[in-house]
Each structure stands twice: as C-alpha cells, then as structure tokens.
Amino acid sequence: MLIGKKPDILSSEITPRAIFENRRRFIKAAGFGAAAGLIASAGFVPSLASAANTRQKIASFNKTAYGKEEQLTSYDDITTYNNFYEFGTSKSDPAVHSRLFKPTPWTLSIEGEVKKPRKISIEDIFKLAPLEERIYRMRCVEGWSMVIPWVGFPLSKLIQYAEPTANARYIEFISLADPKSMPGVRVPILDWPYREGLRMDEAMHPLTIMAVGLYGEVLPNQNGAPIRLVVPWKYGFKGAKSIVGLRFTEKMPVTAWMKAGPSEYGFYANVNPEVEHPRWSQSTERRIGGGLFSPRIKTRMFNGYADEVGQLYAGMDLRKNF
Amino acid sequence: MFFRQPDKSQLTRIRFLLFLLALMPLARLIWLGATESLGANPIEFIERSTGTWALVMLLIALALTPIRLLTGIAWPIQLRRMAGLFMFFYACLHFTSYLWLDHWFDWSEISKHIIKHPYVLVGFLAFVLAVPLALTSSNTMMRRLGGRWKLLHRMVYPIAILAVLHFWWLVKKDIREPLFYAVVLLLLLGVRVLYAGRKQLKTQTTSKIQAHNSSA
C-alpha cells in the first residue's frame, strides 16, 4: 500500500486546524530530519515517503442516509485509481506524484458576480457548515464507477457565504495549476488551469457538495485535497479538484474538457445511458472492486439520482445539451 | 556472432529462448492475477497489457526487414513468423478478454459497441484481417499459395496502421504513448519505401543503360 498506516489517535483529540498545522510541521520536520519526537508522539508512522500524505481522521461529521444501501469501494481502490491529470495522465500517477503536495496553507478566492470579492482560508471553510458524510456513486465518463463515502458540506453553504449578485447564473470552479508541485501541469495536455462549471440551480442543489474528506479522513492529495467539487449525477470529470477559485458569472463558462474536445464533452455532462460517447459505451459501467469475473452493470439516468435532479432539466433536449 | 548466420542448432536455441521471452508478458499477467496485484481495474489492465504486447510483437515482426536493409543482417528474418504468431496470440488474448471479461459475451451490446465506437471498429478490423495471415503461416500453406502468399501477407501493413489507430483513438487526451508507436511504425514503413524507391531507380537506370548500350 502506498499510504501510511492508519494513525491510532482518537478522532475527538484533533480539530481540523490542528490537523493541518500538524501536517505542516510534520513536512518541515521530515524535510530537516528533525523533531522526530514530535512525529512519534503524534502517533504517525515515521516514513518519509508517506510523510505528506499520512491519513488523518476528521474530528467530527454527521452520518447521513445517502447511499446507505450501497457497497463501498475500498479505500485502496479510491486512492490509487484516479484521474487527476495535474499529477499525470495514468490512473496510478496521482497517488505517486501527489505524495509531497502540500494542501495547506490554502485559500479559496471568490470572484466575479459577487457583492464583494474575497478570499477564504481552508480553516474557515471547515467552519462554514457542519460536515456530513455522503455516500455517492461516482460514474466516470470512461465507463467505470465507484461508491465513495465523501465528507463535506453542501455547496449552497459556500454560495450563501459568497453572496452572489442577481447577475450570477453560473459558477466557474478553478483548480490549482502549480507546475512546481504538480508535474502533470508541465505538460500541455489540457489548457491549465482545470476549469469546471455549474448552472446556479445545479450548484444550489442539495446533492451538490464540496468534499474535504473521504472514509472519515482528510481528503488524500490524489483525490483533490484540500477541497473538491462532487456532483453525483454528472460524470466524474465535473468534480474539479484542489479548487482555488470560485467565479460567479453571467455567461456559461467554458470548461477545460469542453475546450479539449467540444464534440465529446459538453457543459452539462449528466450521466445519461442514452447519449453515446464516441469512445466509451455509456449504457453500462464497470463497478471498481468487482474483480476479474464480475459483469458490467447498467448505467442509470442521472446516475440513479433522476428523482432528485430530473426536474432541473425539464424541457431540455439532453442529446443536444450533453 | 550476431552478423553471421547461426547454424541450425544455434537457431533452434535462439528460437527457444525468444519463445520463452515472448511468453513473459503472459506469465507476468498470470503472476499479477494470482497475487491480486492487477490494480483497481484488473480487466482494463489485462486489455491494455495484451493489446500493447500484440502491437509490440507486430512492430518487431515489421522491424526485421528494415534491419536487413540497413545493416545487411538477414538471418533474423527467420524469426519473423514467430513474432507474427505471437502478435496474433496476444491479439487473441486481447480480443478474448474484451469479449469475455469485459462484456460477458453480450453479443448485442458488443456488436453495438463495435459499430458505434471508431476505435473499437478499427481494432476489430485489424484482428479480423490478421486471422487469414495466422491461418496461412505454415510452410504447407506458403507452398500451396505460391505467389499469392506474399500478396496476402502484405495485409500486415494495413493491420499495423489500424492497430496504431485503434490505440490512438482509444486515448482520451494524452496521445504520447500511441504517438510513440505511430512514429516507430512510420520509421519501419519509411525505410521500406525509401529502399523500394532506390531499387526502382537502380533498375530504371540499369535498363536505360542497357537500352543505350544495345542501341549504340
């Protein structure tokens, strides 16, 4: 396994702020080869390789009823099979190349059609709303899927904090593109930084969350630390990772994948078994973790969230607005 | 040693060693499968691996003539059939894993998939075209088909182009890997074209000289 041993500390002993400061201190300590006592006392495995990506529990979050009936994809699979091109284009790249990535300190900048542009630190984001666990299906456009127990809060809470003006009809999400810490950004595979977007009503929908953790732990770097978007009824690429900017706009933003392949990737990118992709079949999917001999499963409209989100697209031609 | 034609027993030994070597990718897959180390998506892993090795074997088979043209070392051509058959072997594993592990012989789904997705279609076409080549690879068939055999086996060129295209169209955005194979194929075909052109020029000039001489 690439990730270090689970720390055996009580979750109640740690607050998010302490987690981050601890992590920061730890990275420094690892870098200078000092303060070994501190590491030992904190209960971490003193391994340099896993230093920056040590698993840390989130102090408190509420369980919810979402996805209770689903069988979870294993932590190993969720954290070693990732599309995160900023850390390389192979699925196994992000887990390896994000190891020394530092998700703190981190600020999110709120811009565009808002009363007042401002910046918010990741520590303050943690205090914005009570954290909750949401078990969601994640369907990748490439025809595979997972079930992931995210920890996060509704995006609507962040939007309330941002105070958008009446002109704001869309939100653009801008990911970090730092060639120093993200080797994939040095290659012009996509037009960096990665950008995603949502219509305001999609963004305000209670299913849409900003995730800061998974499996009750702080979000691993390869999954988009420290904060990412999760929109369970859309293809996985809509979930922008390591977000540094939130821009409220009047016009529909152009996303990174729309730029890269306008005929293949649309703005909406709703999971839809009826609309074929030139490369992958969208009528079925492979659930990760089933092993060699488990058949594909049928892909459901809006990834099975049709009851909740279907009305958002009433009257729209989903073949045209793919 | 490499430049000389190996004698019969040496060639047998070389063949045996290369045979074992060419089975390594399969052995690796079996090993990784047995130790549950094929990763989060083992089926994709197997499809990718067998597909890549089919392509590599094909390019090896196509490299032997350019080696002869460029260096004059001709004896590796005797290994070409083995490389070609290993290409077909890995292509069979590739196609089987697609039909079986990936789609569980769901024929209606598979046929739709093949028709609708260009990358699948060209890959399927490459495989279908390779079947007659594998079937006619024996000495008996070579003798029986005579001159037509060579013509038939020129099919390997379109197969190689389709195979690279199959890889290229499969990739979402990062085309560096298929690009590498495309460049190798282009070089291997380029050497042939270059030499064919030169040969033609030579025969033309010799025939012109001959014509000139006879008229004089």
Q: What average pLDDT does the structure give for chain A?
A: 88
Contact A277, A264 (CB under 8 A): yes
Instruction: Give ipTM to 2 decimals.
Output: 0.87
Per-residue pLDDT at B213: 73
For A288, half-sphere exposure in the C-beta direction (CA atoms, 13 angstrom radius) is 29
Pick B39's closest partner by Cβ from A81, A261, A283. A81
Residue B2 has a pLDDT of: 64
| Per-residue pLDDT, A52 | 47
Give A305's pLDDT tier (boundaries 50, 70, 90): very high
In the block, residue with structure tokens 């074992």 = B20
Per DSSP, the three-state class of A154 is strand
Given an 8 Å threshold on Cβ–Cβ distance, is A276 in contact with B116?
Answer: yes
Rounded to a whole number of angstroms, the distance from the CA of B119 to the nearest CA of chain A is: 7
Q: Give residue A43's pLDDT band: very low, low, confident or very high (50, 70, 90).
A: very low
Number of Cβ within 10 Å of residue A120's Cβ equals 18
Mean local confidence (pLDDT), A258-285: 94
List Cβ neighbours of A212 (8 Å cut-off, separation of 6 or more): A58, A122, A125, A126, A131, A151, A152, A153, A218, A219, A226, A227
CA dist A276 and A296 (Å) reads: 16
pLDDT band at A158 (very low <50, low <70, confident <90, very high): very high
Average pLDDT of A172-178?
A: 98
- Do the Cβ atoms of B113 and A279 come within 8 Å? no
Three-state SS at A306? helix
pLDDT at A9 over 70: no
Mean pLDDT on B98-118: 94
Rg (CA), chain B: 21
CA distance A278 to chain B (A): 5
Confirm or reject contact between A318 and chain B (CB < 8 A): no
Q: Would you say residue A41 has pLDDT above 50?
A: no
A308 shares contact with chain B (CB less than 8 Å): no
- Give the 3-state DSSP-derived string for chain B, with helices as H, strands as E and coil as C: CCCCCCCHHHHHHHHHHHHHHHCHHHHHHHHHHHCCCCCCCHHHHHHHHHHHHHHHHHHHHHHHHHHHHHHCCCHHHHHHHHHHHHHHHHHHHHHHHHHHHHCCCCHHHHHHHHHHCHHHHHHHHHHHHHHHHHHCCCHHHHHHHCHHHHHHHCCHHHHHHHHHHHHHHHCCCCCHHHHHHHHHHHHHHHHHHHHHHHHHHHHHHHHHHHHHHHHC
Residue B165: list chain A partners with CB under 8 A: none
Q: State which H helix or E strand residue A172 sits in.
A: strand A170-175
Q: How many domains does chain B fold into?
A: 1
Mean per-residue pLDDT for A84-101?
A: 96
B33, B41, B46: residue with CB nearest A81: B41
A194 contacts A241 by C-beta, under 8 angstroms = yes
Strand partners, A285: A297
Q: What is the mean pLDDT of residues A133-159?
A: 98
Residue B41 is assigned to a structural domain of this protein: yes
Q: Which of A90-94, A146-150, A280-284, B156-160 has the lowest mean pLDDT?
A: A280-284
Contact between chains at B118 and A278 (C-beta distance less than 8 A): yes
B84–chain A nearest CA distance, Å = 28
Domain range enclosing B114: 8-191
- pLDDT at B201 (0 to 100): 84
> A92 in contact with B at a CB cutoff of 8 Å?
yes
C-alpha–C-alpha distance, residues B96 and B52, integer Å: 15
Contacts of A3 (CB under 8 A, 6+ apart): A50, A53, A54, A55, A79, A95, A220
In a domain, B198, yes or no: no
In a domain, B204, yes or no: no
Sign of the torsion formed by the C-alpha atoms of A311, A314, A318 and A320? negative
In chain B, residues with a C-beta closer than 8 Å to the C-beta of A279 are 117, 119, 169-170, 172
Return the domain boundaries, chain A.
Answer: 1-59, 61-313
A1 has pLDDT over 60: no
Partner residue opposite A279 with nearest CB, options B42, B44, B117: B117
CB burial of residue B31 (10 Å; 0-12, 13-18, 19+) = exposed
Q: Which residue of chain B comes nearest to A144, CA vs CA? A: B41
Burial of A255: CB neighbours in 10 Å, binned 0-12, 13-18, 19+: buried
> Nearest CA of chain A to the CA of B154: how many Å?
29
CB–CB contact A142 B172 (8 Å): yes
pLDDT in tens, A193-247: 999 999 999 999 999 999 999 999 999 999 999 999 999 999 999 999 999 999 9
Distance CA A321, CA A314 (A): 12
Q: Which CATH superfamily is domain A61-313 in?
A: Oxidoreductase, molybdopterin-binding domain (3.90.420.10)
- Please give the Cα distance from A212 to A154 (Å, whole number): 11
Q: Which of A262-266, B20-24, B56-60, B184-188 is predicted least confidently?
A: A262-266
Residues of chain A with C-beta less than 8 angstroms from the C-beta of B170: 279
Distance between start and end Cα atoms, chain A: 38
Encoded amino acid at B116, one letter: K
Quote the pLDDT of residue B216: 54
**CB of A80 less than 8 A from some CB of B:** yes
Residues of chain A in contact with residue B30, where contact means CB-CB under 8 angstroms, are none
pLDDT band at A53 (very low <50, low <70, confident <90, very high): low
**Is B197 a domain residue?**
no
Residue B84: closest CA among B48, B133, B151, B122: B133
**Percentage of the residues of chain A whose pLDDT score is greater than 90:** 80
